[in-house]
Amino acid sequence: MPEKPADVTFAPSRLYEIEARIKDLDYSQDIVSVTVNSSLSTSYQVLDLVFFLDSNDIILQELYGGDPINLRIVLLREETGALQGGVPGPSIEFELMYVHHEFPIVEKDQFSQQTQKDRVAYKVTTVTRTPYKIMTTLVNRVFLGQTLESIITQLAKDAGATDIEFDSDGRNSNPIDQVIIPPTTFYQVIKEFDRGSAFLFDGYLDGRFGLFNGVPGIFCQFDGKVQIKNLTAKMKKKEAFMVYQFSQITSKKESDRITDAVVDGNVFYTYDTIDSDYSASSKFAVLGTNIKDIVKPKNTLTSTITQSLQQYTESNSLIYQNANLFIDPILTRDKYNSEDTGYEINTTQFNSRYGRTMADTASLSLQLERDMPLLNLVQVGEAVMFKPLSLEYQQLSGKYILWSSVLNFRRLANWEATATINLIRSNRHSGQLGLRPADTSDKKKQKTFAEKEAEQTKKQIKAGKTEKDIRKPQNLVFRRD
C-alpha cells in the first residue's frame, strides 16, 4: 500500500531500484512493472506502468490522472567491503502524465469491519509531461530572410523549450526569403516530412525546405531537451554503443572481455536470435530509379531537379561502407513529381526526403541480455556498432542507427531488466567478408565414403584376396541407426 515518503528507506536490490510517487505518497513498494518506449517515430517517451493496489486505495486516493506520477529509475553500482548490494549511481527521473488507466473492481463486503486488502493490477499508460507540453504547443509566426536555425530556435522558445540540440553537420543554412508558419504544433512544424501523412502541415519545414542534406531525426528527451539530429552525419562519427551477438562457440576469454565491458553502459550483447528485414527492391519499385521533381522558382516558369535514387541513397541516407543495394535490374524507370513548388532550385528538401525514405531499408531487431546498464538506450538517433561473432554474419556487421528502444523492468525477487532495440540503415551488405574459419581443432578429419572404400580395398588385397573376390556382391543388411 502507499506510504508516506518519510517511512520509506532505500533498499538496493541487485542492479536497479525504482521509486514512484503520486501526490505526497510513495508507491515504490507497489509498482511491479515499468516499460520505457523511446522511438524516433514519436516525439517523446511513452511509459507503461503496473501497480498492485487495493481498489479501495485507488478510489479513495482518486488516482484518476489529475496528478503527475514522479518516477525515478536508479542504476546501482557494485561496491565491495561493508556496503553490499549496490550503491545509487546514474539515474533517470520522469515526470509523467496519465493517458489511460484500467483496473478491475472486485467484490467486497457492503461495509467492512476490518481492513481488507484485495490487490489488483492498476495499469497506467503515461507520457513524459514536459516534452508532451513542448511538442504539442501551437506555434504561428512569419519570418523574413532567416535561416532554419533561427526560425526553429524562435519557435522552440514559443513552445517553452529551454534546451535545443540542432546538429550543424549538413544543416540547411540558406536564408529563406519568407516563411509563414501556419497555426500548428511545434512537433508538426519541425518533424521529418512524411509524404503519406493526411495532415497538410506534417513536416512543414522539412517538406518545403529540407532540414539537412541527410536524414533528420526529431525527439524530445524526458528532461525537455529538443533534439534535431542529422542521422546521416551520425553514421560517419564514432558510435555511441556497441552490440555483440555471441556465436555458439565463443572462447571464455572473449566472452569475459565483452561481459566485463558492459559496466559503463556502452557495450551490450545478446545470445538470442536476431530478426532482420530488407526492402530495397520494394522502395525502388515505388519511388522509381530516376526521380524528376518539377519545381517552380520565382523567376522561372519551371525547373526540373533530376537525380537517381541510388545517388540520393549513397549521399544522403544511412550507408555504411558498401553502397551496393542488390536491386533487380528490371527495376528501371523514371518517375515525375510535380506537387512540390520547391524552394528555387535548392535540392536540400529532396535530399532529406528521399534519404529518409531509404533510411530503414535494412533493419535489425535485437533482444539484449538481462540485467545490464540500459539507461543509455533512451538516446535514440545515435550510431550503434553491431558485431556478430559468427564469421558468416560479418556482412551484416557495422554501424546502424538506434531507431527505437523498449526497456522492460520487472520486479520478481529483485528488479530485472531486459531491452529490445531496433536498428536501421540503408544497405544490407557492409562489405565485410563472411568467411568460414579453417578447422584448427584437434578432431580427426572425417573420411569420405570413397576414401573409406579405397582403404578397405587395400586391406583386402593385403589379406590375399583377388580382384574377383573383392568385387563379389556382399549380403546387404539395412538397419536404422
Q: Which CATH class is domain 5-107+116-130?
A: mainly beta
At residue 464, the pLDDT reads 65
Closest of 68, 53, 36 to residue 103, by C-alpha: 53
Q: What is the sign, positive or negative, of the torsion defined by CA atoms of 250, 253, 259, 261?
A: negative
Its CATH class, for the domain covering 134-229, is: alpha beta
pLDDT value of position 280: 93
CATH architecture of 241-278+361-425: Beta Barrel (2.40)
Greatest Cα pair distance in the chain = 105
Residues facing residue 51 across a β-bridge: 31, 122
This prediction's pTM:
0.83
pLDDT on residue 79: 53
CB atoms under 10 Å from CB of 395, counted, come to 16
Residue with grid cell 578447422, as numbered in its chain: 439
Calculate what percentage of the chain has a pLDDT beyond 90. 58
Residues of the chain falling short of pLDDT 70? 1-14, 77-87, 108-117, 432-454, 456-481
- Pick from 169, 105, 395: which is nearest to 276 by CA? 395
- Separation between Cα atoms, residue 399 and residue 430, nearest integer Å: 9
Spatial contact of 30 and 61, defined as CB atoms under 8 Å apart: no
Q: Which residues pair with 97 in a beta bridge?
A: 127
Backbone angles phi, psi at 178, to 5 degrees: -150, 135
Rounded Cα distance between 104 and 120, Å, is 7
| Residue 254: per-residue pLDDT | 80
pLDDT at 439: 46
Domain borders along the chain are 5-107+116-130, 134-229, 241-278+361-425, 280-357
